[in-house]
């Protein structure tokens, strides 16, 4: 592997309140021979005013996507094969929603031009062909999915992203107005995903000036937003840029303990990414003392309930399954604890941590 990551970024970015209104103009040059644009819309917006603002032309189609559960490879495959059957080819896939809807859009775009199942491409650099044009429009801020080179999918045997240079969006539309109606708890959990990205990146052994410059800015924006009570437009503006910068920070470093442990929860119990990270972060004083203290202040100030006792009554086999998934995330552990991580995070130690959650 090359020593320095040569990473592919999103090609176009538009930012600002009301920038969603520019979507028609942005998509016009991407329309190919009458092939439709397909909008994958988070089901929360079904029938809401945002749905009516989608700039439909010709035989464009809105598909409201079910994000009750985090995206599965089977769902991606079904969406892509239905589109191939109905249209043959499409001009592009536009994902509008939280991290789940955006990840679905990335994955469906790739599967329009790659054979087989999306499960075949879970891993690093397995995708063979570029996807169709794809754009991401976040309606929740925090995951950084708008800038990342992955789309996280749960497949038949693993939960792992399609990580590739073909995965980043061609265009993102960052319009903070779209995040205004998010429920307080959801906004917090997804926002904390960003906060945790910052702590894990800034405290990690992979840190470098590139990651640091984005991570510090994202951290400061998260602090501006969550170390106070009340919410206003500026909070939405700031959190959207925090998500972007936090994503850029981990693109050139890595996440750490909270993510590695949270992946195990998600695999076994279906715990969602944002809340799962919060449940784990709540118990990580040993690894991120200052970050966890500040996280707890944020939880308190924003009046959020972090679930506890979610691993009560699990069997040894179930703990083993979570431990296997978690310890499989080697780069995360190495970033968090250094090259010697295996002697620090033993199976016993990790089990004790899971038992506390």
- Cβ distance to Zn ion smaller for residue 92 or 256: 256
Q: How many CA atoms lie within 13 A of 94 on its CB side?
A: 26
Among the listed ranges 14-22, 82-90, 93-101, 299-307, the one in contact with ligand NAD (CB under 6 A) is: 93-101
Q: C-beta of 343: minimal distance to ligand NAD in Å?
A: 29
DSSP 152-183: EEE-SS-EEEEESTT-S-SEEEE-GGGGTT--
Q: How many CA atoms lie within 13 A of 108 on its CB side?
A: 34
- Strand duo 61-65 + 159-163: pairing: unpaired
- Cβ distance to ligand NAD smaller for residue 92 or 97: 97
Q: C-beta of 225: minimal distance to ligand NAD in Å?
A: 15
Dihedral sign of CA atoms 240, 245, 248, 252 in order: negative
Could you tell which of Zn ion, ligand NAD, none binds residue 67, using a CB distance below 5 to 8 A set by kind? ligand NAD
Beta bridge partners of 137: 96
Q: C-beta of 24: minimal distance to ligand NAD in Å?
A: 21
Among the listed ranges 42-50, 54-62, 69-77, 189-197, the one in contact with Zn ion (CB under 5 A) is: 189-197
3-state secondary structure string, 263-329?
HHHHHHHCCCHHHHHHHHHCCCCCCCHHHHHHHHHHHHHCCCCCCCCCCCCCCHHHHHHHHHHHHCC
- Cβ distance to ligand NAD smaller for residue 49 or 315: 49
**One residue of 148, 203, 277, 283 binding ligand NAD per CB under 6 A:** 148
Q: C-beta of 45: minimal distance to ligand NAD in Å?
A: 7
Please state, in angstroms and rounded to a whole number, the distance separating the CA atoms of residues 43 and 65: 5
Site string for ligand NAD, 126-145 (x = CB under 6 A): -------------xx--xxx
Using CB under 6 A as the binding rule, whether residue 267 contacts ligand NAD is answered as no
Give the C-alpha distances (Å, rounded to integers) separating 49 from 44, 54, 132, 143.
11, 9, 27, 24
| Cβ atoms of 353 and 319 closer than 8 Å | no
- Cβ distance to ligand NAD smaller for residue 134 or 273: 273
Dihedral sign of CA atoms 275, 277, 280, 283 in order: negative
**One residue of 177, 193, 200, 236 binding Zn ion per CB under 5 A:** 193
DSSP 210-247: HHHHHHHHHHHHHHHHHSSS---HHHHHHHHHHHHHHH
Intra-chain end-to-end CA distance of the chain, in Å: 37
Q: C-beta of 238: minimal distance to Zn ion in Å?
A: 18
| Cβ atoms of 117 and 81 closer than 8 Å | no
Among the listed ranges 8-16, 193-201, 213-221, 335-343, the one in contact with Zn ion (CB under 5 A) is: 193-201
Could you tell which of Zn ion, ligand NAD, none binds residue 179, using a CB distance below 5 to 8 A set by kind? ligand NAD
Among the listed ranges 98-106, 128-136, 217-225, 233-241, the one in contact with ligand NAD (CB under 6 A) is: 98-106
Neighbours of 335 (CB within 10 A): 25
How many residues in the shown chain lie near ligand NAD by CB under 6 A?
30
Could you tell which of Zn ion, ligand NAD, none binds residue 353, using a CB distance below 5 to 8 A set by kind? none
Site string for ligand NAD, 158-197 (x = CB under 6 A): ---------------------x-xxx--x---x--x----
Q: What is the CA radius of gyration of the chain?
A: 20
Q: Which residue is nearest to Zn ion (CB)?
A: 193
Site residues for ligand NAD per CB under 6 A = 42-44, 67, 70-71, 97-101, 103, 139-140, 143-145, 148, 150-152, 179, 181-183, 186, 190, 193, 273-274
Site residues for Zn ion per CB under 5 A = 193
């Amino acid at each position: 592997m090359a020593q320095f990551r040569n990473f592919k970024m999103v090609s176009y970015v538009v930012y600002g309140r009301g920038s969603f209104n520019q979507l028609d103009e942005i998509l016009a040059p991407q329309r190919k021979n009458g092939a439709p644009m397909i909008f994958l819309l988070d089901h929360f917006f079904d029938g809401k005013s945002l749905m009516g603002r989608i700039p439909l032309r010709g035989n464009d189609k809105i598909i409201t996507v079910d994000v009750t559960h985090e995206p599965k490879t089977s769902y991606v495959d079904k969406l892509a094969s239905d589109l191939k059957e109905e249209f043959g080819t499409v001009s592009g896939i536009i994902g509008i929603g939280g991290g789940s809807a955006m990840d679905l859009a990335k994955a469906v775009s790739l599967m329009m031009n790659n054979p087989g199942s999306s499960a075949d491409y879970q891993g690093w650099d397995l995708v063979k062909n570029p996807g169709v044009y794809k754009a991401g429009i976040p309606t929740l801020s925090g995951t950084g999915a708008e800038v990342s080179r992955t789309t996280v999918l749960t497949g038949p045997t693993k939960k792992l992203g399609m990580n590739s240079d073909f995965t980043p969006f061609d265009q993102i539309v960052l319009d903070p107005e779209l995040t205004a109606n998010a429920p307080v708890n959801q906004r917090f959990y997804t926002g904390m995903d960003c906060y945790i990205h910052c702590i894990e990146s800034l405290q990690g052994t992979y840190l470098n000036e590139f990651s640091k410059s984005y991570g510090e800015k994202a951290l400061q924006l998260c602090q501006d937003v969550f170390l106070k009570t009340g919410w206003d437009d500026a909070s939405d503006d700031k959190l959207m840029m925090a998500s972007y910068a936090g994503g850029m920070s981990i693109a050139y470093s890595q996440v750490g303990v909270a993510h590695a442990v949270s992946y195990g929860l998600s695999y076994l119990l279906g715990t969602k990414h944002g809340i799962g990270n919060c449940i784990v972060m709540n118990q990580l004083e040993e690894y991120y003392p200052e970050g966890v203290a500040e996280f707890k202040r944020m939880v308190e100030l924003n009046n959020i309930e972090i679930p506890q006792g979610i691993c009560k009554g699990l069997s040894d086999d179930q703990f083993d399954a979570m431990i296997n998934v978690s310890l499989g995330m080697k780069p995360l552990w190495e970033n968090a604890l250094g090259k010697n991580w295996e002697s620090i995070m033993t199976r016993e130690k990790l089990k004790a941590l899971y038992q506390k959650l």
